[in-house]
Structure 1
């Protein structure tokens, strides 16, 4: 799985995020082509190399052609309302994950703006943010994540800047009210700078898309990109994005759990079969004592994210539980290989577990060993140990 880390050293805005991801390697022509399929005004989008306080970065040059109409306001109106933007995303041919992510960002921004102005989120107009710019920034960033195949997004704590900013409604404190609203629950960083470092769109990305906040995860670093902001400060006004890839041997798995005290052993046996058919990596039952001292059973299921929803519904359908807990775990796995070993007992299947070139596990196939041990009338453990030893000699070279 690919992880993108947003290093908000100088805050975060829509155009900075888009240019940083393109600098990192997201395909600008893919982003442009997908955006051009949407019912938007004509625009041009280029990346310009710039230097910000000694750091070379990419700057997003976005030009939107204003259509010349008499009903100027009326004509633009349909781009502006949050409900219309969400409907446009819904009806588009954008990839599913891009739709989900874009929708989430707009919902969060609209909710924050609505909360401040005291109107329903659906009626919020995106005039403050510059409707077209923000639509292109938001959907563009979600397309950039898609182009990079980002499964997980992590962000650093974020500085907001300080002072006042002139807006349509007058002079506002920084962070602007909508930005502050979106940053609730997000760790802030202090940076003593006059000016707006984080915009509502940037805060919307953090709120809607970041899976977690903190320092860079200890994974191999593959690439780094820099996106430049419009303003110049005494520090480099850039967003840094880092691209990490988990080893093939590292994967994220989910643990699903529930416990029941009013279900028969037969029903549990059948449930286990169905869970395995539904793609569970492992299923096990643990005896537990529950309230009123009733002996019960704790059901534990290990699965991949793609199978999680199906397995949860199997648990609801096949057992008497009213809730399923889930937690996310990182697991490191050995790459597996099956070999057939020629032994004095005949051919025996063995399962081998490697990491790199190192052989860690050798597991002879139970059924083959049992058959051989009965055939020569030897204890199972002795035959097993002998075959395992021979396999280790054979395959660890």
Structure 2
């Protein structure tokens, strides 16, 4: 600690009867108000061209001069406080330290947005601000603050994308949203790409209701309109209409069904006592060395369990064309795209919003929360996905002339 700081502390102790931490807060609050006033006085001096103690020699009747003070209440890190803002005759003074119409000097907007990103409701944020900072921030005020990010979301949703994404994932998370007094379930679809450097990139967040080929075609066309020309592999669950949409928008793209979802959906039709054995048998299919062996294992597993669970293996046969692309690749490379694990960390962050907010007041409120939570989660995405060098090499061989240099 410097001698200057020690001197300031000694003066603080002498000036204020400090007994506890609250007294320190009150003292700093008082000093903050005084400091702001002195800074605005200096700004007024520069604005008028002479100091408060000086008199101008000008005899001009229209000259500008000080015209007292106006009290203004602002919110600070130490709670609400009144400051005296110097006024001038012409009302042309524009203070910079606390601007006109500025009611907060504690960067509260960013704090509100940070709390919103963590899934807190406007009511919870309002109560937290009141507890910590000692001033009331209405739910309407907080909603207005978070609305400031809507232009950012729109800009983000329309930003240009890369021409080629070797791998793209689409996954869905469902939320309850209030619409005209009725609570409905809406799906938030996360579209995530692996770019040519092997890094994860959220391409879009779409809140949808009715899945169909028309719906998915609009989603994929929006990617094309933002610059995407080619996708090598698109991995998803069994989204209704996605296959037809891929064939129309990106006819050269191979659809890969998420194997994890396939296994989960299959085991829904299996009794608890047989799940472990059934899952072990399913693993022999998707870990097979090639497609011929995988088909053989598919027949074996079907024959073994069809008597007890006749519906369980139906989807494996119906969707084999979207399951089989993985067998062209080595086992190490398959794990890069036969599951949606690449976005599981993001999905877990977004699912926390469900635990913190049982119902969103509107689809716009949901979109704001999703965007902010996604922005926070993706800050950690600083490295390529695992084994990217090997994945890139095999993709370049399997899809010649389509991988960017």
Higher helix share: 2
Q: TM-score, normalised by structure 2?
A: 0.24
Q: Which has the larger radius of gyration?
A: 2
Q: TM-score, normalised by structure 1?
A: 0.24
Q: Which has the higher contact order (CA 8 A, sep 6+)?
A: 1
Higher strand share: 1
